[in-house]
C-alpha cells in the first residue's frame, strides 16, 4: 500500500510531535482506566468486553453502513434476516497523520474505528431499526468501540430507543471505556425523560465516573440542569460528593457559571444544593472554593447567596488569592456585570483589602478602584498602577485619577478615618449592621463604600 508523505517545517514538526505525545498519553490513560475498571466493576455491572466463544465478524460494506446511518429499515430487515446476524462489528477506516520514526516524517496512515449496528441506530433514534436488530441477536450491552448503545441513545435523548434497550436487558449502569455511565451523558434538558427511564430501571444516582469520580449530580450541576438536579436530590444524591479533583457539585456549578446569560440557572442550582447540605467552604481544584469560582466569574448574586450560607470571605486558594483577589482580576472581563458591586459586597462582608499588587487589575475600572482604595486608612506610595489605565479611560475620569495621586502617602481626612474605625468595629457584619444603626441614608451609603467619583 502506498503512503502519501510530505515534509513539514521545523516549527510544524515540533507542534505535531507535541500532539503525538498528547495522543500517546491519552491512549495510556485509557488503557490504565480499562485495566482498573475491569478489576473494580460493580457487582451488578457487566465486563466491558464480555467473553465470547466466537470471533467478531467485521463489516466494511459501504451499502450496509449507509443503510444503518440513514435508518433504512427495509434494507436493514433484508440484510439482517437470521438470528445472530446483527452481532457484527462495523469498521470504518480514515486517514490520520502519524509520526513515522523510520522515515523521520509525519505520514498519512489508516486508522480503524469500530462500532455496532445497534450503537449506530440507537444514537440516531431509529427505534424500528433498534427493535429489529435486537430481535436478530444484537447485544444491548456490547461496548465495541468503547461505548454501549444505551450511552448513544441517552446522549442523543432518544427516549423510545432508551426504553427499548432497557426493556431488552441493557444495563443502566454500564460504564464506557472512559468510565461513564449513561446518566453521565445526560447533559441537556432534553435528556430528562431518559434520566427518568434509567432511574426507573435501576441506575445508581450516586455512581461516580470511574476515571473522574464525577457523579451524575456533578454533571447536571455543571450543565445548569435544574430539573435533573432536583430529581437527583429527591432520590438522595449526595450534594457533598467529591470528584477526583476534590470538587463538589456546588463548586463545579460555581466554576461553570462564567456566562452572564446563564447566571440565573446556576444560582438556582446552587440554592438547591446548599438547601440540602452542600458546604460553600469545600475547596476544589487548586484550593478554589465556591466563593473563589463565583467571584472569578463576577456572579454577584451567587456570591451573595454563598455569603448568606456562611462562605468564608478571606480563605485563600493554593496561589494565595482570596475571593476578593479573584474578583479584582476579572474587572476588565465582565464590565457589564458591575464588578464594583461585587468588590463592594465582599468588602462589606469582611474581606481584607487586597495587596497593592492587585491594584493594576482594577485600576481601569474607576468605580471598583475607588471602592477598593476607600477600604484602606491610607494610600501607600507608588504610581505603578497608572500604566494599567488606558488613555481614553484616564481622560474620561481624569478628576478621579488625579484625586488619587494627590492623596498618595498623605493623611486621609478625619471623616474617612472615622469610616474606617466604624467598619473595623463591625468587621464582617458591615453589610447587615449598618442598616440597623439608624443613620441617615447618605451616611449609611458612605460607610458601605458607595462610590462618589473622587478620593479625599
| CATH classification number, 205-290, choose in 1.10.357.10, 3.40.50.280, 3.30.1120.10, 1.25.40.20 | 1.25.40.20
Confidence check: pLDDT of 51 > 60: no
Tell me if domain 58-96+109-203 and domain 205-290 are identical in fold: yes
Mean of pLDDT values over 285-295: 94
Between 232 and 55, residue with greater pLDDT: 232
Shortest CA distance to 272 belongs to which of 298, 297, 305, 300? Answer: 305
Q: What is the DSSP string of 180-245?
A: --GGGG--SGGGHHHHHHHHHTT--TTPPPTTT---HHHHHHHTT-HHHHHHHHHTT--TT---TT
Confidence check: pLDDT of 11 > 70: no
3-class state of residue 114 by DSSP: strand
Q: What is the pLDDT of residues 345-396, one digit of tens each?
A: 999 999 999 889 999 999 999 999 999 999 999 988 888 899 999 999 999 9
Cell of 183: 446518566
The confidence band for 172, taking pLDDT boundaries of 50, 70 and 90, is: very high
The confidence band for 37, taking pLDDT boundaries of 50, 70 and 90, is: very low
* Burial per residue of 408-442, b for 16 or more beta-carbon CB atoms within 10 angstroms, e otherwise: eeeebeeebeebbebbeebebebbebbeeeeeeee
Shortest CA distance to 229 belongs to which of 248, 212, 245, 202? Answer: 248
The confidence band for 5, taking pLDDT boundaries of 50, 70 and 90, is: very low
Mean of pLDDT values over 431-439: 76
Q: What pTM does this model have?
A: 0.83
The confidence band for 42, taking pLDDT boundaries of 50, 70 and 90, is: very low
Q: In the prediction, which pLDDT does 409 show?
A: 87
The confidence band for 44, taking pLDDT boundaries of 50, 70 and 90, is: very low
Query: For the sheet containing 58-59, what is the strand order?
Result: 58-59, 89-100, 105-115
Cα 404 to Cα 352, 358, 367: the distances in Å are: 20, 16, 12
Distance CA 347, CA 324 (A): 8
Mean of pLDDT values over 157-180: 97
Cα 119 to Cα 78, 138, 178, 210: the distances in Å are: 19, 10, 16, 22
The average confidence (pLDDT) of the chain is 88
The confidence band for 430, taking pLDDT boundaries of 50, 70 and 90, is: confident
Q: What are the residue boundaries of the structural domains of the chain, listed by start? A: 58-96+109-203, 205-290, 357-456
Q: In the prediction, which pLDDT does 14 show?
A: 58
Classify domain 58-96+109-203 at the CATH class level: mainly alpha
Mean of pLDDT values over 293-297: 96
Amino acid at each position: 500500500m502506498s503512503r502519501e508523505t510530505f515534509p513539514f517545517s521545523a516549527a510544524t514538526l515540533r507542534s505535531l510531535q507535541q500532539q503525538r505525545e498528547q495522543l500517546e498519553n491519552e491512549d495510556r490513560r485509557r488503557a490504565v482506566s480499562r485495566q482498573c475498571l475491569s478489576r473494580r466493576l460493580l457487582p451488578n455491572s457487566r465486563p466491558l468486553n464480555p467473553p465470547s466463544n466466537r470471533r467478531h465478524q467485521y463489516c466494511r460494506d459501504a451499502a450496509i453502513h449507509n443503510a444503518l446511518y440513514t435508518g433504512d429499515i427495509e434494507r436493514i430487515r433484508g440484510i439482517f434476516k437470521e438470528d445472530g446476524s446483527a452481532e457484527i462489528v462495523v469498521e470504518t477506516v480514515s486517514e490520520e497523520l502519524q509520526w513515522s520514526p523510520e522515515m523521520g516524517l509525519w505520514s498519512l496512515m489508516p486508522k480503524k474505528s469500530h462500532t455496532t449496528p445497534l450503537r449506530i441506530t440507537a444514537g440516531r433514534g431509529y427505534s424500528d431499526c433498534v427493535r429489529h436488530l435486537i430481535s436478530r441477536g444484537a447485544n444491548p450491552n456490547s461496548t465495541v468501540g468503547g461505548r454501549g448503545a444505551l450511552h448513544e441513545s441517552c446522549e442523543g435523548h432518544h427516549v423510545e430507543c432508551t426504553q427499548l434497550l432497557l426493556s431488552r436487558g441493557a444495563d443502566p449502569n454500564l460504564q464506557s471505556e472512559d468510565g461513564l455511565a449513561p446518566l453521565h451523558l445526560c447533559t441537556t434538558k432534553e435528556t430528562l425523560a431518559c434520566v427518568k427511564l434509567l432511574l426507573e430501571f435501576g441506575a445508581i444516582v450516586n455512581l461516580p465516573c470511574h476515571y473522574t469520580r464525577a457523579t451524575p449530580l456533578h454533571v447536571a450541576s455543571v450543565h445548569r440542569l435544574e430539573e435533573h438536579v432536583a430529581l437527583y436530590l429527591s432520590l438522595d444524591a449526595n450534594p457533598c460528593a467529591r470528584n477526583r479533583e476534590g470538587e463538589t457539585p456546588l463548586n463545579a456549578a460555581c466554576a461553570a457559571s462564567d456566562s452572564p446569560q446563564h447566571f440565573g440557572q446556576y444560582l438556582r442550582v446552587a440554592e438547591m444544593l446548599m438547601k440540602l447540605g452542600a458546604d460553600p467552604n469545600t475547596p476544589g481544584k487548586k484550593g478554589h472554593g465556591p466563593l473563589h469560582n463565583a467571584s472569578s466569574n463576577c456572579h454577584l448574586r451567587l456570591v451573595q447567596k454563598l455569603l448568606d450560607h456562611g462562605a468564608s470571605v478571606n480563605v485563600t486558594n493554593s496561589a494565595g488569592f482570596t475571593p476578593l483577589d479573584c474578583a479584582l482580576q476579572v474587572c476588565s472581563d465582565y464590565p457589564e456585570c458591575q464588578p464594583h458591586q461585587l468588590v463592594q459586597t465582599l468588602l462589606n462582608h469582611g474581606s481584607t483589602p487586597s495587596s497593592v499588587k492587585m491594584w493594576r487589575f482594577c485600576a481601569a475600572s474607576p468605580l471598583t478602584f475607588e471602592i477598593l482604595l476607600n477600604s484602606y486608612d491610607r494610600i501607600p506610595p507608588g504610581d505603578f498602577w497608572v500604566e494599567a489605565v488606558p488613555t481614553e479611560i484616564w481622560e474620561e475620569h481624569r478628576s478621579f485619577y488625579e484625586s488619587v495621586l494627590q492623596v498618595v502617602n498623605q493623611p486621609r481626612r478625619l471623616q474617612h478615618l472615622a469610616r474606617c474605625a466604624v467598619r473595623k468595629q463591625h468587621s464582617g457584619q458591615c453589610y447587615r449592621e449598618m442598616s440597623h444603626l439608624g443613620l441617615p441614608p447618605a451616611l449609611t451609603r458612605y460607610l458601605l463604600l458607595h462610590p462618589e467619583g473622587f478620593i479625599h
